Amino acid sequence: MAISARLVAVEVVEYLDGITNVAAYLSEGPTPPVGKTVIVHPDAGQHDGPLGNPDRDLRVEFQTTSVGTTAEQALWVHDQVATRLWRSTITLDGSTNTLPIFAIPGTEQPVRRDDNLADPLFYVTCSWMAHARPST
Amino acid sequence: MTPAEFAAELQRVSAGTDSAISKVVEKGALNIKNDARASLSSSNAGKSAAGQFINYDMSGTLEAEIGYDKMAGSLGTMNEYGSAGNAPKKNLANALEREAPVTAKYAAEAVDDLWR
């Protein structure tokens, strides 16, 4: 089974959904956005390995956006996400690829306020890299 | 070439390196700026307006800083990193990733040219 940024993100969402009191979503959160959520955005178009070639290593990037109703809550959600993802390994359904995950240095952004919403929310973003290695 | 001639040649090349690479770095920064602006302008009208605030500054001889001016306000960070309700666009990060190997190639060629 070929690996893709979307498939990795789907698996990461499932993995993060296991965090108590935090809901995880793929690409788009609930409308209107609510607090204590994490949204996983897959980065399409990877550069160091052809998608669909199961014999090559592949670096897959994705971004997490941790959302809270206060700055403190957004940071708390991000802490939960980082703790869960840091150096963790997931296995994609139907494939033999395992994915050690680590944060890309320097991509963790400070907590920001989303002023476009009627009820402002706060969010923290961070980019992560999953390194897929074929095991066969 | 005698050792003394070789030493003189090394001195000549190292003296010209900063200037040669600085031009390549500045050209790379300009390409990233233009690429990011172009990819923003294919986005919606409101967001593409932020493109005019993407600029670069040379920080010293070999370093360029490319990003949104402060005039862009929160629109710049929202375009790049998304927000609670919007996905990230990563126009700058993607432009950097496209340009980095090109700039590295021309920097290597610029140093090669100094030896000729």
Of B77, B83, B97, the CB nearest to A116: B83
Which of A2-6, A26-30, A122-126 has maximum average pLDDT?
A122-126
Residue among A30, A55, A2, A7 at smallest CA distance from A119: A30
CB of A65 within 8 Å of any CB in chain B?
yes
Mean pLDDT in residue range B68-88:
86
Of B84, B88, B94, the CB nearest to A63: B88
A73 SS3 class: helix
Task: For residue A133, give both structure tokens.
Answer: 């290695």
**Which residue in B83, B89, B90, B97 has the most chain A C-beta atoms within 10 A of its own C-beta, making it the best mutation to test that interface?**
B83
Burial pattern A22-49, b for ≥16 Cβ within 10 A else e, equals: bbbbbeebeeebebbbbbbbbbeebeee
A128-to-A26, A99, A102, A106, A133 alpha-carbon distances in Å: 15, 11, 6, 11, 16
B56-70: per-residue pLDDT in tens? 999 988 999 999 998
Element (H, E) at A7: helix A5-16
CB of A78 within 8 Å of any CB in chain B?
no
Q: ipTM above 0.90?
A: no
Whether A114 sits inside 8 A of B83 (CB atoms) is: yes
Whether B83 sits inside 8 A of A41 (CB atoms) is: no
Q: Is the peptide bond before A42 cis (omega within 30 degrees of 0)?
A: no
- pTM listed for this prediction: 0.82
